[in-house]
Amino acid sequence: MKKTALITGASSGIGLACAELLAAQGYDLILTARRQERLKEIESKLTASHNISVQTLCLDVRDKAQVNEILGKMDAPHVLINNAGLALGLSHFYAGDTDQWDTMIDTNIKGLLYVSRTVAEKMIARGTGHIVNIGSIAGKEVYENGNVYCASKHAVDALTRGMRIELASKGIKVTGIHPGAVETEFSIVRFSGDAERAKKVYEGFENLVAADIADAVVWAVTRPEHVNINDIIIMPKAQPAAGVIHRKTN
């Protein structure tokens, strides 16, 4: 049977890599993000290279009314990948920018909840489905200056575990995938567009790439129906813990 995957934050990084690998597996895709022009380019590329259908939706996960309106009209996807998220800034909490806190909490926690609430209702009606939440090593551990981002990803971890308990009896699987440092647009966003500073985050060690995470997502969603992959933590070899990276110096 043809399966459909809905991916939030599919315009770059891990979400885009998930779209590419799931397309190769023959999944029909519903790709969402705010940057619609990027999604349209991805749609053209994927439909040209794979025999799948791709629907793109301009969606800000923070906008509860928009989420309800747009996703509320759709059939249940077989797979939901809650990937949209971001970190903003790196500073001690007592010097933190409260607008950045609001954006992280609204996107990483509340956005994930709004999307999951709407989609889960449809999956429950169908009696099957799989929700994959992209958490972070920052949701398992904390590091200095990570405070609110870490808290938001700890919330994702708690919600993942809670969803699993509440959805098992409805036939729905729930998986948490928690990456360490992956070179995407993540650090460019974190440092407000400062690409030079972002580049330095990945210097001197071999970071993960988005396809490493998408590979785990595809593996998790293609296990037999009776198997649920609860939790995966994926780290670069050189990053043994959150905030600890062994860099080679010349």
Q: Does 151 engage in binding with ligand NDP (CB under 6 A)?
A: no
Q: Please pick, among 94, 114, 149, 202, the residue that the annotation labels catalytic.
A: 149
Partner from ligand 8X3, ligand NDP, none binding residue 242, C-beta < 5-8 Å depending on class: ligand 8X3
Q: How far is the CB of 90 from ligand NDP (least distance, A)?
A: 13
Q: Could you give the string, one character per residue 23-62, with x where binding to ligand NDP holds by CB under 6 A and - elsewhere?
A: ----------xxx-----------------------xxxx
Q: How far is the CB of 60 from ligand 8X3 (least distance, A)?
A: 20
Q: Which is closer to ligand 8X3, CB of 136 or CB of 147?
A: 136
Q: Which is closer to ligand 8X3, CB of 56 or CB of 136?
A: 136
Q: Which is closer to ligand NDP, CB of 116 or CB of 136?
A: 136
Q: What is the dihedral of CA 142, 84, 99, 158, to 10 degrees?
A: -40
Q: Does 89 engage in binding with ligand NDP (CB under 6 A)?
A: no
Long-range contact list for 238-243, CB < 8 A, 24+ apart? 238/205, 238/206, 239/137, 239/180, 239/181, 239/205, 241/137, 241/141, 242/137, 242/138, 242/140, 242/141, 242/142, 242/143, 242/146, 242/150, 242/180, 243/141, 243/143, 243/144, 243/146
Q: Which is closer to ligand NDP, CB of 126 or CB of 185?
A: 185
Residue 149 annotated in active site: yes
Q: Could you give the string, one character per residue 59-88, with x where binding to ligand NDP holds by CB under 6 A and - elsewhere?
A: xxxx--------------------xxxx--
| CA atoms of 206 and 179, how far apart (whole Å) | 14
Among 88, 134, 163, 217, binds ligand NDP (CB under 6 A): 134
Give contact residues for ligand 8X3 (rule: CB under 6 A). 136-138, 146, 180-181, 242
Instruction: Name the residue whose CB lies closest to ligand 8X3.
Output: 136
Q: Does 215 engage in binding with ligand NDP (CB under 6 A)?
A: no
Sign, CA torsion 103/105/110/115: positive
Q: Does 14 engage in binding with ligand NDP (CB under 6 A)?
A: yes
Sign, CA torsion 143/149/150/153: negative
User: Exposed, middle or buried: residue 61 (CB in 10 Å: 0-12, 13-18, 19+)?
Assistant: buried
Spatial CA neighbour of 140 closest among 129, 122, 152, 124: 152
Question: Within 85-129, where are the H helices?
Answer: 98-104, 112-126
Q: Which is closer to ligand 8X3, CB of 74 or CB of 158?
A: 158
Q: Which two tokens stand for residue 116?
A: 């999951």
List the catalytic residues: 149
Using CB under 6 A, list all residues that contact ligand NDP: 8-15, 33-35, 59-62, 83-86, 107, 111, 134, 136, 179, 181-182, 184-186, 189, 210
